[in-house]
Amino acid sequence: MKKKNKEKKWHASVKKSVFCMAACLTLAGLAKPWDVHAAVLGEDMKQGNILELQSGDWKEDYVVLNPTETNVGTSGTFVMLNGYYDKIMFDEKGESNAWEGSSAQKYCTEYYRKLPVTVKDRVIGVRTTDTESGSAWLDVSNIDGTKTDKDKVFFLSFKEYDAYRTGANLSSGYKWLLRCPGTDCSEYHDYIGVVDNDGSIHNYSIEHLIAARPGFNLRLPSDICAVKTEKDGVTVWKADADKLGHTYGAPVYEWSKDNRGCTGTIRCEICGESIVEKATVFVTSEKKPTAKENGMDVYTAIFPDERFQTQVKNISIEKLPSKTETKSKKITAGAKYTIAGSVYKVLSPKAKTVSIVKAKNVKSYTISSTVKIQGKTFKVTQIETKAFKDSKIVKVTIGKNVKVLKPKAFAGSKVTKVILKTKNLKKSTIKNCMKSSKVKTIQVKVGTKKENKKILKAYKKFFKKSVLGRSVRLF
Which residue number, 21 or 239, has a Cβ lying nearer to Zn ion?
A: 239
DSSP 377-436: EEEEEEE-TTTTTTS---EEEE-TT--EE-TTTTTTS---EEEE--S---GGGSTTTTTT
Tell the smallest beta-carbon distance from residue 248 to Zn ion (Å). Answer: 8
Contact residue for Zn ion among 270, 425, 442, 472 (CB under 5 A): 270
Asked whether the beta carbons of 330 and 355 are under 8 A apart, the reply is no
Which residue number, 72 or 271, has a Cβ lying nearer to Zn ion?
A: 271
Which residue number, 42 or 349, has a Cβ lying nearer to Zn ion?
A: 42
Which residue number, 79 or 268, has a Cβ lying nearer to Zn ion?
A: 268
Stretch that binds Zn ion, among 236-244, 246-254, 359-367, 379-387 (CB under 5 A): 246-254
CB atoms within 10 A of CB 20: 12
Rounded Cα gap, residues 246 and 234, in angstroms: 24
Q: Is 246 an interacting residue with respect to Zn ion (CB under 5 A)? A: yes
Stretch that binds Zn ion, among 238-246, 303-311, 353-361, 394-402 (CB under 5 A): 238-246
Q: Is 227 an interacting residue with respect to Zn ion (CB under 5 A)? A: no
Q: Is 268 an interacting residue with respect to Zn ion (CB under 5 A)? A: yes
Tell the smallest beta-carbon distance from residue 9 to Zn ion (Å). Answer: 50
**Residues of this chain, 331-370, that bind Zn ion according to CB under 5 A:** none
CB atoms within 10 A of CB 333: 12
Tell the smallest beta-carbon distance from residue 270 to Zn ion (Å). Answer: 5
- Residue type for position 39: A
Which residue number, 239 or 404, has a Cβ lying nearer to Zn ion?
A: 239
Longest CA–CA span in the chain (Å) reads 154
Rounded Cα gap, residues 377 and 445, in angstroms: 24
Tell the smallest beta-carbon distance from residue 273 to Zn ion (Å). Answer: 5
Asked whether the beta carbons of 274 and 265 are under 8 A apart, the reply is yes
Which residue number, 265 or 300, has a Cβ lying nearer to Zn ion?
A: 265
Tell the smallest beta-carbon distance from residue 276 to Zn ion (Å). Answer: 15
Stretch that binds Zn ion, among 6-14, 43-51, 72-80, 261-269 (CB under 5 A): 261-269
Q: Is 194 an interacting residue with respect to Zn ion (CB under 5 A)? A: no
Rounded Cα gap, residues 183 and 105, in angstroms: 12
Tell the smallest beta-carbon distance from residue 61 to Zn ion (Å). Answer: 20
Asked whether the beta carbons of 407 and 431 are under 8 A apart, the reply is yes
Stretch that binds Zn ion, among 6-14, 23-31, 263-271, 431-439 (CB under 5 A): 263-271
Closest Cα partner for 7 from 168, 182, 166? 166
Range 196-218 burial, b when 16+ CB lie within 10 A, else e = beebebbbbbbbbbbbbbbbbbb
Tell the smallest beta-carbon distance from residue 217 to Zn ion (Å). Answer: 23
Contact residue for Zn ion among 271, 347, 356, 405 (CB under 5 A): 271
| Distance from chain centroid for Cα 26 | 45
- In the complex, the residues that contact Zn ion under the rule CB under 5 A are 225, 246, 268, 270-271, 273
